[in-house]
Structure 1
């Protein structure tokens, strides 16, 4: 038997603050074998990143390992002298962080940053280091390695920057690679390429990996084993397929019920959020940490003593006293089933909307000409009362620019935008009357940046009501504020709390309360759940749907998460480089025939279901610049089906907007027989799609 690369046994890590010791990780054990990838999953604050930093012995001034051992190739890192640690870090153990620009020096060229790794750790010369850098850049599939080495980080896209960070980690050929949410900030198509790259590198270089993620689909694709963490403890561990198909801890089951797997439906099969809140380290309950949120909790037993990891099989363990008593095949209990809201008349529409920006070409460098950025090009859509229209596409496709025009933060360069009978495309928010401003509101992506840290929650909601001229006095507005807290299912006592006293999900609920304070006709939700944990995502998503059904609000839901889109959207609009390339009902867009770009987006979505088989389509290249878009079809430079047109139309002519079925349109030159022969990208075992 091979010796483990990494063996963590009964690891306990605490942070020492003014209020005393705060245990962050308790009695954590895990093993990574040579060439193996272990996935660490769980909600924010569960201790995943703390374990990784413990392995690197990089816990800062307040963090300390208070128990257990971390053996790397048989040597205990906990007791290892600092000089030996410095030789191991970056050479034998490397770490890749979530935000690539946090790991790159903006003042140094990429080549110099890559070359210094082996020059420092191995003492090799500059020529040999550059040759290795060229080989590694080629290994991470970046085009034109000499040009990449001569570039500064800001001259590369986000996906290219992340590949450089991976290349930097590989420069010293480490035995263990720690990846902490390495794809969170990337588009789904870029994410697919990075995931495939990580899998190939593990196979080609024999590198062992500790892969930290909240995305169960990514872990399924990337890892051999999984460890689920909750409140500083491992609660379930085992081989990927066994844990996914035969989970034996209620928290693991709760995570899976919180994510929109194929088959989930917002009316007939809604997501089920884990009840309650994640416990703070100094508020952990006696016995099972998950007990207060567990539907299988047994008083006097589950809270009587600390719960150990118990064997489920020879390679599968669970921290649950009742795992052998629970009926894991029983369907979830759904308290109420929502009736689908009937779709009404058109509330918000756009016709041939264009938004161009004129930018200088560099007066700083002596130039005085201007260039045009075509952010939105010929965008047309209709959104109806009580309908959810999802807008999807990669970064730079024009989604957020469209939202700014709708909200009056920008004006349209051409075309028309109507809210009911009112033309709003040329009206900035400053020139709109109070009722129009209230009629179209926004829920933002990051709930942390939308609240004033120095004002109470109640005061901030009342201020919105004042702006919308609600009621005839403070008493009426205060009563309405309390009703809004009821609407978003928060206790009325939260009116007196400050934002710092709220969790991320609670802050987003306040953002929703403010958006609905003026009884809007339409709400633009820009990635409203992407910054939240999966269980909180489920609660916030269903809250939005519940409020929409009650108030019959039109919702434009901007997202890159096609799983969430499939769950909640009535119709889907796919954008690429400022163009609408496909629009139709959700069922139409998620099954063939597709636009080739939609097909690639769907193939890139990681799905946490072992029964799902996906066709792999990894797009190469980056989205072209909106300053200099390609001739003909905007997607032709990356389209894997361009050759099937049998002509050069894609490179010379803008495609027509064709109707494939009633209500389903694509902008594409592909012949009808190609569309007719398309196969599903996503297949379920025993199903056609």
Structure 2
């Protein structure tokens, strides 16, 4: 039975060191790591990829594989030393007392087993309960995680559920044994921002209901602010700062924490007047750490002879209980000093229309049964009457959840798909019906793409230089090899990579460096339009700032039109000139960035804005969680595509939302919304995000409507 009388720290990690052993050397992954989680407390663990967050979690689970070993320190769970436990004792604790939720939900689910059976196994194995009681408990927990029709869910296979539903099932499975400690390793990274908001809300509520302590691993500081009581910032295997959320966010006392916050787009950051500050240099490899402070080579406050002369220990920060910093200069630094003025960039003037999309439709015909194609055909309406323009030197952001048609639009623009109806005009040439194999070299080089995952877009067996030269050959640029090689070196200069990288293989590059090669290749033919499909979502926040500012700088110099596909509205607010919001194949709102982020909103835009985690304790945000999942494009709802999830529907008289697709209505010059709400209702909308001391402008609604 569980020990419910224990009232000390649930988890106590003291001076923990973990190494991985290879044939060549010992690789220290975690060093001198300490943290304490009290009953009912949520601790956030943040830092860049490779800093040791997941290794700490696996150390707690005692699941480090054959090469991993705890080489120092202790991990106590409810006062008992986990390092000394036998495999039998660990089996009794894992899943029952300590549960872990991984980043990818399908890694935890058996695809050949119904959900109900998988959930029922937990109490049957750990608590020895009967089938009937196990089913009742599974039904209760699936109801707790707010899944629709719980009985049907228990009877479904994992592949019949959406990503958000799968993750909720994994959370339900972790809660089945009512664990004392729940470890969540990036549980929302693969989910849409609206689903992420619902899952985060769920985790918070369940933590309160069950009194579960949590170790929440994330690289998203905004998410940690919304879910956790305390935070531990890690860098290169060490904890560098720990304290309450308020202490660390408002009174940070480590240069790395400060550098992290300066590299993320908080409200108020502006790409021209207040650009992001990327962290200089690169993350050190575990066997190449510098002497003294690990962050020293990248630190603005580094002092030779002090910071590199001794091992740096954690120091208590005066005045704040349990606030500690691994910096010997933290008392000397002026933490309130303004950011050193970066070079203010002039905004490039927006030019003529380069791309015009008019009533674009893209339908797919699919068999009713994917397994047995004898069934009747069904139509998937991936893009439905899309109309917009994009101008020279402009950044147009395209936002929306997965399945809204963003990537289908990109495929049509690139010529990977042809349009079902409508027009796509590039420099007065219609290209909607011309597949890529029939497009001329000039058209292909004019529209290029930067992909989401830099790891998948480079040929692993070809050097970086050769891959860029290959693009130049395709675009017929340069008269000979010497000219092409020179152009390739110029492109490496353009994306701020050393020329020596021309002879490197992709495996020798970091994620951010690979993405720069992808950008160099996209600009090889002098692209007029670059479609950037989530280009920074796979990168660390510190690298995101550098890659984002690189794109902006190239755009200023080359006068490129950037179509920026993203679900991260923080980065969208920072870099876009205009925003187009898509839902289920429709453009539901389009306008300038300021118009989209100020009321009146389309109800879907309002929910999107509320879902964005913001890493700033002074920003107030209204709380709106979207109920239900995005409908299938194969079977869209009648009338307004958003009506099944809209919280404003009751404000529209009759059943108009359920019977008629709304017209595109002009709210102000350049600002349009596809919604039945009246001007009076729109005028009542309040801002979702409120900045401290910001004057609230009255919403502007012009009384115009277009069919």
Partner Cα distance (1:337, 1:506) in 2: 25
Residue matched to 1:10: 15
Residue matched to 1:73: 78
3-state SS in 2 of match to 1:78:
helix
Partner Cα distance (1:688, 1:120) in 2: 58
Residue matched to 2:701: none
Residue matched to 2:560: 553
TM-score (norm 2): 0.97
C-alpha displacement at 1:648, in angstroms?
1.1
Of 38, 44, 49, 2:43 maps to: 38
C-alpha displacement at 1:365, in angstroms?
4.0
Residue matched to 1:461: 468
Residue matched to 1:54: 59
Residue matched to 1:563: 570
Partner Cα distance (1:368, 1:600) in 2: 38
3-state SS in 1 of match to 2:30:
strand
Of 461, 467, 477, 1:470 maps to: 477
C-alpha displacement at 1:73, in angstroms?
0.5
Partner Cα distance (2:371, 2:198) in 1: 37
CA contact (8 A) 2:275 2:342 kept: no
Residue matched to 1:585: 592
CA contact (8 A) 1:13 1:65 kept: yes
Residue matched to 1:369: 376
Of 262, 267, 270, 1:265 maps to: 270
Residue matched to 2:246: 241
Residue matched to 1:332: 339
3-state SS in 1 of match to 2:680:
helix
TM-score (norm 1): 0.99
Of 662, 666, 669, 2:673 maps to: 666
Residue 653, structure 1, aligned to residue 660, structure 2: yes
Partner Cα distance (2:335, 2:234) in 1: 20
Of 342, 347, 359, 1:352 maps to: 359
Of 613, 616, 626, 2:620 maps to: 613
Residue 320, structure 1, aligned to residue 327, structure 2: yes
Of 426, 443, 459, 2:450 maps to: 443
Residue matched to 2:303: 298
CA contact (8 A) 1:680 1:688 kept: no
Structure 2 unmatched runs, 5+: 1-5, 697-707
Please list the CA deviations of residues 631-661 of structure 1 after superposition, one character each: whole Å capped at 9, or x if unmatched: 1100000001000112211011110100000
| Count of paired positions | 689
C-alpha displacement at 1:628, in angstroms?
1.1
CA contact (8 A) 2:395 2:575 kept: yes
Residue 643, structure 1, aligned to residue 641, structure 2: no
Residue 116, structure 1, aligned to residue 121, structure 2: yes
C-alpha displacement at 1:560, in angstroms?
0.3
Partner Cα distance (1:363, 1:286) in 2: 59
Residue 419, structure 1, aligned to residue 426, structure 2: yes
Residue 488, structure 1, aligned to residue 490, structure 2: no
C-alpha displacement at 1:509, in angstroms?
0.2
199-208 vs 367-376, which deviates more? 367-376
Partner Cα distance (2:244, 2:633) in 1: 45
Please list the CA deviations of residues 465-500 of structure 1 after superposition, one character each: whole Å capped at 9, or x if unmatched: 000011111000000000000000000000011101
Please list the CA deviations of residues 327-384 of structure 1 after superposition, one character each: whole Å capped at 9, or x if unmatched: 1111111342211010000001100000000001127447431000000000000000
Of 517, 521, 525, 1:514 maps to: 521
3-state SS in 2 of match to 1:449:
coil
Of 542, 548, 551, 2:549 maps to: 542
Of 664, 684, 687, 2:691 maps to: 684
What RMSD, in angstroms, separates the aligned Cα atoms of the two structures?
Answer: 0.9
Residue matched to 1:154: 159
CA contact (8 A) 2:361 2:421 kept: yes
Partner Cα distance (1:124, 1:2) in 2: 27
146-155 vs 623-632, which deviates more? 623-632
